[in-house]
Structure 1
Amino acid sequence: MPLTLALFCGNAHSDAEDSSKDGVRVEEAHIRFTYFDQKGFGYQSQAGPGPAGSERLQVYEPMFYVRFRQNDKVEHTITVPIDIITSASTDAIDALTTASRHNEAGTIMIDTRVKATDDDTLKFTYGGHGEEWFASVFGGVGYTRDLAQDNATITARIDGSFDWFTPYGPWPRRIVPLTRKFDFRGGLSGSVEVSQVLSPTTLVKAGYGIAWQKGALLTPWNSVPFLCNPDVTECFARLQEQFPGTRLKQTVSGLLAQHIPRTSTTVRLSYRFFADDYDVRAHTLLGEIYQYVTERAYISAHYRAHRQTAVYFWTTNLGLANFDPGAPRTSDSDLAEFWAHEWGAKVLFHITPPGRPRQHDIDVYFNRYTRTNNLSVNVGSIGYGYNF
């Protein structure tokens, strides 16, 4: 089994490419359906019955993916997820939740990969997102240099995005559009990642990322309880959350991947540290194991632990003492202090034996996510892939 396959545990396809053929040709296509079921309560939600409103949410997401080759040096992938009844906080650093609003959304993302030389690759990413209250465009470019006879790589990326959306304000039991027509925000991010093959079965990676946002960084329908009793069971009113005009986020990450040929097993351990200028500090540890049970099937399992502190302006009860109408404030449960735990499992079966052209694959997975501030998420998915 090739090292790259073992370490990254892709879908183990043979691309069945014939370099003698010219012209555009489709090489791979996937379709996936995912069901997302969320339960919980958060103080930002106006969905009742009390100050901590319901975060109940169900999402049905079909997703389509196609990869095609333009020529020997250029290939494109197109990914189109469609979310039905979904929306989420744009500022969370762990899993995203939704409260007080449901809608439909669609995204199209195109990746263009250009093999400039045997050792140099450019990757362009661009696309857009739309839903009834929100729209976004994004784009970026990355450069990868292969070193030491492909035993080491260095990748650098820069990405940008621009969002515009309808501003909303909280009223009892509902949200209403405000007088201005749109709010805006934009962001820039950059990252550097290096990888090194230490042995035929061992790989390590390290990365650093930085992101800067400016504009209306709030989630429009999120609210903050105002003038509540000490137990925060009854409140006089709600105010719309407010954010500073900018945000700077940084991450440092590392990964170790080890393949065990005797048992056809791959183990991956990764860690990520996150910090921003809102005083959030977060640590995430992820363990994964991939096990081939036959030549045509593998199973995988993972566990992830996440710990984060809250933004400095997080509150569940905004009072009159030292109240500043223009100061930042939020009750978003995504930005609170919490522990999160996630586990999941996946089974992939090659309907066609690996190594043959025109392969068919099917996979199914389940994820369970919980956190200490009263939120749980179950995710189930089934996918089918075909290599031409």
Structure 2
Amino acid sequence: MTVKQLQKAKSKNIRGLLSTATGCLLGASTVVQAQSEAGWETDVAVLIYNETDRVSAFEPAISFKKTYDDDSVLGIKLVYDALTGASHNGAAVSDEVQTFTRPSGNGSYATQSADVPLDDTFRDSRGSASMNYEQPLNRFDKVIYGGNVSAEHDFTSMSGSVSYLHDLNQRNTTLSAGISFEYDQITPEGGVPVALSEMQVNTNPQVRAEDSETRTMTELLLGVTQVIDRNTLVQMNYGFSQSSGYHSDPYKIVSVLNADGSLDAANGLNGTYIYENRPDSRTKQSLYVKAKRYMQGNIADISYRYMWDDWDVSSHTIDTHYRFNMESNWYIEPHVRYYQQQAAEFYRYSLSNTEVVPEFVSADYRLGDMTAITVGAKLGFKVAGHANSVRLEFYQQSGDETPSEVDSLILQYNYQF
């Protein structure tokens, strides 16, 4: 998963809200947070993400939480992302030098023989603010309201959500239901390219449609959390989402090659490249199961998620943590995550100039067959009564084609007071 994907995932409030609510039941936040005299808990975090020869990100974040006398809880989070580096533009690897026009239409860049085509001028920054408010209705019911706003130079997103939780069976069972709505506006550099149009040399006008496009998404999540015994809890969720509008990536292209795989010069470039086109709607469903168990002072949890959609994408995710609690408020928590994905029905690494261009096509490796594994650990400790943690993880992604090969390092530091 790239940084861009991580950013978009953050805008899905409903999953975060229900995960937070269930996480409290599961004891996910087992580090005791100190409160200031005003009753606010503060968490400051800095994340560094680095892909080998590709994208790097620096992300500071701060969150605040206050619990009131009526047990209602207000949470606020502010995040800033700064991204630099090189991003794959979708073109196929070639044994020839390739030249591309920049997204703005001003200038060009080149990729050397046998190199993955990367736009090395990739720059982006994002600011986001989110808030959620948890309101108990009585001993057994509560409602959580959430909202999020985020903005980049070419992307703006606004979302809101509401979730309802009900305890029963002597509070050993919690039922949850939530709904969210998201509105996105995409304003790419140089305008929105006409789908399936050919890239032109930078001295020619580029084929553009509108200055911006929009997308909306509605998501529903149903869940149940069950106490199995005094040491074991199980969580199960079903998610359904429906989105409509502009789903293409305006910066992604698809190579159109000769029958022998060589470049086919056109439009003043030494190759032929068309802008991708994805369907204007997407329906996704998911099933999620998580178990958490307290074992002789330590905490183990494992989760599995299966996702499928009407683009023919399906994925399996297995995520495991084991927290070793040590003396003097220290702990270490190893983490292993495995992800496997089946490609979208319209994913193509490249096209041939002898075939009819399909209605929908994308060479974005994020829609292709892929396997990824994350391995790392988090170290937690206290200094002067305040909780600290450091997380170091390695992410490795592989697929059928060279652009899918991604290695990255993730380092995060948290300080709670």
The answer to whether the superposition gives a TM-score over 0.5 is yes
Whether 1:141 aligns to 2:162 is: yes
Assess, with a 3 A threshold, how the Cα gap between structure 1 residues 211 and 298 changes in structure 2: closer, same or farther.
same
Indicate conservation of the 8 Å contact 1:248/1:276, yes or no. Answer: yes
Cα drift, residue 351 of structure 1: 2.5
Indicate conservation of the 8 Å contact 2:177/2:223, yes or no. Answer: yes
Provide the C-alpha distance between the structure 2 equivalents of 1:231 and 1:320, rounded to a whole number of angstroms: 10
Assess, with a 3 A threshold, how the Cα gap between structure 1 residues 113 and 6 changes in structure 2: closer, same or farther.
closer
- Following superposition of structure 1 onto structure 2, how do residues 272-351 of structure 1 map, counting pairs within 5 Å? 272-324=305-357, 327-351=359-383
Whether 1:39 aligns to 2:70 is: no
SS in structure 1 of the partner of residue 366 of structure 2: helix
After superposition, give the CA deviation of every residue in 1:107-163 in whole Å (9 maximum; x if it has no partner): 111011111111111001102110111111001000011112221111111011000
Cα drift, residue 233 of structure 1: 7.2
Provide the C-alpha distance between the structure 2 equivalents of 1:271 and 1:320, rounded to a whole number of angstroms: 42
Q: Which residue of 2 aligns with 1:270?
A: 303
Provide the C-alpha distance between the structure 2 equivalents of 1:350 and 1:219, rounded to a whole number of angstroms: 44
Q: Which residue of 1 aligns with 2:5?
A: none
Q: Which residue of 2 aligns with 1:43?
A: none
Whether 1:381 aligns to 2:381 is: no
Indicate conservation of the 8 Å contact 2:33/2:41, yes or no. Answer: no
**Matching residue's letter, 1:107:** S
Q: Which residue of 2 aligns with 1:29?
A: 42
**Which stretch of the first structure deviates more once superposed, 227-236 or 75-84?**
227-236
**Matching residue's letter, 2:152:** E
Whether 1:130 aligns to 2:151 is: yes
Provide the C-alpha distance between the structure 1 equivalents of 2:201 and 2:390, rounded to a whole number of angstroms: 42
Cα drift, residue 229 of structure 1: 5.7
Provide the C-alpha distance between the structure 2 equivalents of 1:103 and 1:260, rounded to a whole number of angstroms: 44
Whether 1:362 aligns to 2:394 is: no
Number of aligned residue pairs: give it.
345
Q: Which residue of 1 aligns with 2:273?
A: 238
Indicate conservation of the 8 Å contact 2:351/2:357, yes or no. Answer: no
Q: Which residue of 2 aligns with 1:78?
A: 76
**Matching residue's letter, 1:188:** T
Provide the C-alpha distance between the structure 2 equivalents of 1:294 and 1:315, rounded to a whole number of angstroms: 54
**Matching residue's letter, 1:273:** Y
Cα drift, residue 236 of structure 1: 2.1
Assess, with a 3 A threshold, how the Cα gap between structure 1 residues 229 and 324 changes in structure 2: closer, same or farther.
closer
Cα drift, residue 227 of structure 1: 2.3
Cα drift, residue 232 of structure 1: 6.4
In structure 2, the gaps of 5 or more residues are 1-22, 89-116, 194-198, 265-269, 400-404
In structure 1, the gaps of 5 or more residues are 19-24, 41-55, 90-97, 353-358
Provide the C-alpha distance between the structure 2 equivalents of 1:11 and 1:71, rounded to a whole number of angstroms: 22
Cα drift, residue 82 of structure 1: 0.4
Provide the C-alpha distance between the structure 1 equivalents of 2:258 and 2:392, rounded to a whole number of angstroms: 39
Q: Which has the higher contact order (CA 8 A, sep 6+)?
A: 1
Assess, with a 3 A threshold, how the Cα gap between structure 1 residues 171 and 378 changes in structure 2: closer, same or farther.
farther
Q: Which residue of 1 aligns with 2:125?
A: 104
**Matching residue's letter, 2:275:** Q
Cα drift, residue 9 of structure 1: 3.5
RMSD: 2.8
Provide the C-alpha distance between the structure 1 equivalents of 2:317 and 2:349, rounded to a whole number of angstroms: 25
**Matching residue's letter, 1:368:** F
Indicate conservation of the 8 Å contact 2:50/2:57, yes or no. Answer: yes
Cα drift, residue 216 of structure 1: 0.4
**Which stretch of the first structure deviates more once superposed, 103-112 or 230-239?**
230-239
Indicate conservation of the 8 Å contact 2:258/2:353, yes or no. Answer: no
Assess, with a 3 A threshold, how the Cα gap between structure 1 residues 364 and 239 changes in structure 2: closer, same or farther.
same
Indicate conservation of the 8 Å contact 1:76/1:113, yes or no. Answer: yes
**Matching residue's letter, 2:212:** F
Assess, with a 3 A threshold, how the Cα gap between structure 1 residues 233 and 65 changes in structure 2: closer, same or farther.
farther
Provide the C-alpha distance between the structure 2 equivalents of 1:190 and 1:197, rounded to a whole number of angstroms: 24
Whether 1:183 aligns to 2:194 is: no
Assess, with a 3 A threshold, how the Cα gap between structure 1 residues 329 and 349 changes in structure 2: closer, same or farther.
same
Cα drift, residue 200 of structure 1: 0.5
Provide the C-alpha distance between the structure 1 equivalents of 2:324 and 2:340, rounded to a whole number of angstroms: 28
Q: Which residue of 2 aligns with 1:260?
A: 295
- Following superposition of structure 1 onto structure 2, how do residues 196-215 of structure 1 map, counting pairs within 5 Å? 196-215=226-245
Give the alignment's TM-score, normalised by structure 1.
0.82
Give % identity.
Answer: 21
Assess, with a 3 A threshold, how the Cα gap between structure 1 residues 367 and 276 changes in structure 2: closer, same or farther.
same
Assess, with a 3 A threshold, how the Cα gap between structure 1 residues 230 and 244 changes in structure 2: closer, same or farther.
same
Indicate conservation of the 8 Å contact 2:35/2:41, yes or no. Answer: no
After superposition, give the CA deviation of every residue in 1:56-104 in whole Å (9 maximum; x if it has no partner): 1110111011112354243211111100126999xxxxxxxx9643211
**Matching residue's letter, 1:249:** K
Assess, with a 3 A threshold, how the Cα gap between structure 1 residues 377 and 172 changes in structure 2: closer, same or farther.
farther
Provide the C-alpha distance between the structure 2 equivalents of 1:230 and 1:288, rounded to a whole number of angstroms: 48
Cα drift, residue 39 of structure 1: 2.8
Indicate conservation of the 8 Å contact 2:243/2:281, yes or no. Answer: yes
Indicate conservation of the 8 Å contact 1:83/1:105, yes or no. Answer: yes
Q: Which residue of 1 aligns with 2:104?
A: none
Provide the C-alpha distance between the structure 1 equivalents of 2:36 and 2:80, rounded to a whole number of angstroms: 30
Indicate conservation of the 8 Å contact 1:228/1:317, yes or no. Answer: no
After superposition, give the CA deviation of every residue in 1:146-202 in whole Å (9 maximum; x if it has no partner): 112221111111011000111444556899793522100010101111111111001
Greater fraction strand: 1
Provide the C-alpha distance between the structure 1 equivalents of 2:235 and 2:262, rounded to a whole number of angstroms: 46
Indicate conservation of the 8 Å contact 1:232/1:317, yes or no. Answer: no
Give the alignment's TM-score, normalised by structure 2.
0.76
